Amino acid sequence: MRRAPRRRAWCVLAVLVLALLGLDRLFPLPAAAWPDSPARRPLEAVAVLAEDGTPLRYWPGADGAMRHRVTLEQVSPLYVEALLGYEDRAFWWHPGINPAALLRAAWQWLRAGQVVSGGSTLTMQVARLLDAECADRQRNLQTCATRSVGAKVRQMLRALQLEWHLGKREILTLYLNEAPMGGMVEGVEMAAQSYLGKSARYLSHAEAALLAALPQSPSRLRPDRHPALAQLARDKVLDRLMSQGAWNAAQVQDAKLERVFAPPLRSRVLAPLLAERLRQRGLKAGQAVVPSLLDAGLQQRLEQVLLDRLNTLPEQVSIAALVVDNSDGAVRAYAGSADFSDMKRAAHVDMVRGLRSPGSTLKPFLYAMALDQGLVHSESLLVDAPQNFGGYAPGNFQADFSGPVSVSEALQRSLNVPAVDLLERLGPERFAAQLRGAGLRLRMPANATPNLSLILGGGSTRLEELVGAYTALARGGEALLPRLQAEDPMRPTRLMSEGAAFIVREILENGGRPGAPFRESEARIAWKTGTSFGFRDAWALGVTDRYTLGVWMGRPDGTPNPGHFGANSAAPLLRDLAAALGPQQLAPRR
C-alpha cells in the first residue's frame, strides 16, 4: 500500500517533466539568447578595434542599438561584484528564481500597499530583456510590462528555461551585453566606452557601481544628462556593497569622492576608412567585433600630424598616410584621408587604396635590380644628358642636365634620364614582373604594355603596395604585404638581394640637398619622394629600422595641384610623421 503514493508521486513528477519539455519545445528560447545563432547577426552592432582593444569605430545594429560584445573575462571583476551584490547575491546558486526574494517582495507589497522591491533575479532580468514585448530600446528594468502577474510568471518560466539550457556564466554574459544603459547604448562595454572613455576591463569602484545602477532606469540616470541622479544611484550601490561587506568603508569613501560626469554621447572615431574596410570583412565573416593590428596611440599622433598640415593646403587637397611595422608587415597607423568630416576634400575616398601615378618612387627598386644584375655598382658613372630612347625623350624635373653622374648621385637627385637608360637595359617587362611578384602591381592604361615611362610614373599603383615594397630596404631585400589583422598571412617575397637593399638604403639615407628634410637630422631615414605628371600626386616614402612610412598628397579626383610636389609638400610631412613616432624608433643603425 505504501508503494501507491510513491508511484503517484513519480507519475506526477513525470507528467511535470513532460509538460516542461513540451513547453520548452513550444516556446523555445529566442534567437538572441544564443550568441552564435545566425538569426541574431542582422541585429548585431559592429565594433572595429585597435590591437589593444581601443575602439576605432562603432556601427549600430539593425535594431538601432549600439553594443560592443565582450566575454566575462573582459570585464572588471569590480563590476561583477557590484552587479551581483546589488542585483542578485544568490545568483550562483538559485535555479533562475529566488523563492526567498519573491516572498520578501510579496510581504513588502502587502505591508506597504505598493511594490517596494521586485524580487527578480538576474536571470529573470535577462528573460525580461529577451522578451519581444520589451524590444523598445528606451526600456528599463523597472518597467517593460513587468508589474502584471502574467508577465512575472512568464519571466519566471523563461528564467527557469534559461538556467536549463545555459550555464551561469553564459547568462551573466548575456546581461553584460544586453543591459540597457541609456539612449541606444547597450551593454557594459559600450557604456564604459561611451560615458567613461575607457574599457569595462579597467573600471574603478565608483565606475563599476555607476554602471551597475544604470540599467534600473537608464533614461533617468544617464550620466551625460542627469549626473546628480546618477551619482545618487551610484552611491546607493556603494552603500549596499559596504553593508554586505563586499567592499570596505575606505574603498566606498574613496569611490564617493569621484564626481559623476560624462560628456554628451557622440561617435568617437579613429582610422574611420580602415574601420569601414575591416567592417566589410567582418560582415562577410559574421563578426560583431573585428580586431586589427593598429596601434591606437600611434594612430592618434598620425591623425594629429595630418590635421595640422591640412590647414596649410588648398581646400580640395587630401592626404593619405600609412605606417607599417617592418618585422611582420603589421599596419600600425592608417589614414585614407586627413579629415573624415571634410567633404570638400572627398574625405570618404580611401587614398591608401587609390590608384595613382607613383612618379619617381619606383627608382630605388630599379637601381637595386640593376645592382643585382651587375649592370652598375654604387659608384658607376651614368650619363645625365639629353637622349632619345626610340622616340621617348625624358627630361629632368629641374629642366637641366648634369652630365656624368654616379649611381648614388643619380638616385639621390632622382635624375630621370639615367633611370630611363637603366630601365631600357633591364627591360620594362622584367621590371614590372619583379615588382608584381613582390605585391606592387603597376596598372597600365588600356591596351598598353610596360614601357620606359614606367620609371617616371607611367603606370599606377596604391600607397599600400608602395609601402609594402619599400619594407624590402629594411628587411634585407624581402618585401612584405601590409597586414591589417593578425590572421592575414605574412608572406615575405624576395625583391632584391640583401646587398642591393643595403646599398640602396645607404644611398637614400645620405641623400638630399642641404636644407632638405632629414639632411641635418640625426635620425637615419632612407627616404624618397615622387611627383606625378601635372603635379597631380606628391609622394614621400621613408624607411627606418622598425617602420616603413608612406605619404600621399593630392586631389582625389585627379586634378592638378600646382606648386605642390614630393620634395616641398610630402617630404616635410613625412619628416613630421617620423618625429611623431618618437626618437627610439629612429635611432641610427648600429
Q: Would you name the residues annotated as active-site residues?
A: 87, 360
- Cα separation of 559 and 562, whole Å? 10
Nearest to 525 by CA among 550, 506, 499, 501: 506
Count of helices and strands (H, E) across the chain: 19, 14
d(Cα 505, Cα 327) in Å, to the nearest integer?
17
- Measured distance CA(442)–CA(432) in Å, rounded: 7
Instruction: Report, in angstroms and rounded to the nearest whole number, the Rg of the chain calculated over CA atoms.
Output: 32
DSSP single-letter state for residue 554: E
Q: d(Cα 318, Cα 551) in Å, to the nearest integer?
A: 11
Residues 392/396/401/404 CA torsion (nearest 10 deg): -80
Contact between residue 241 and residue 249 where contact means Cβ atoms under 8 Å apart: no
The secondary structure of residue 67, as a DSSP letter, is E
State the pairing for strand pair 478-479/537-543.
unpaired
DSSP E strand boundaries for 277-341: 289-290, 318-325, 331-335
Task: Please give the full DSSP string across 162-208, using - where no structure is assigned.
Answer: HHHHS-HHHHHHHHHHH-B-STTEESHHHHIIIIISS-GGG--HHHH
Q: Which amino acid is at 20?
A: L
- Across the strands, what pairs with 542? 527, 549
Using DSSP's 3-state secondary structure scheme, residue 137 falls into: coil
Which of 218, 536, 559 lies closest to 357 in space, CA to CA? 536
With cell 620634395, the residue in question is 567
In contact, 230 and 221? CB cutoff 8 Å? yes
- DSSP string across 443-479: BPPTT----GGGGGT-SBB-HHHHHHHHGGGTTTTEE
CB neighbours of 65 closer than 8 A, spacing ≥ 6? Answer: 43, 45, 137, 184, 185, 186
Task: Provide the pairing of β-strand 526-531 with 537-543.
Answer: antiparallel
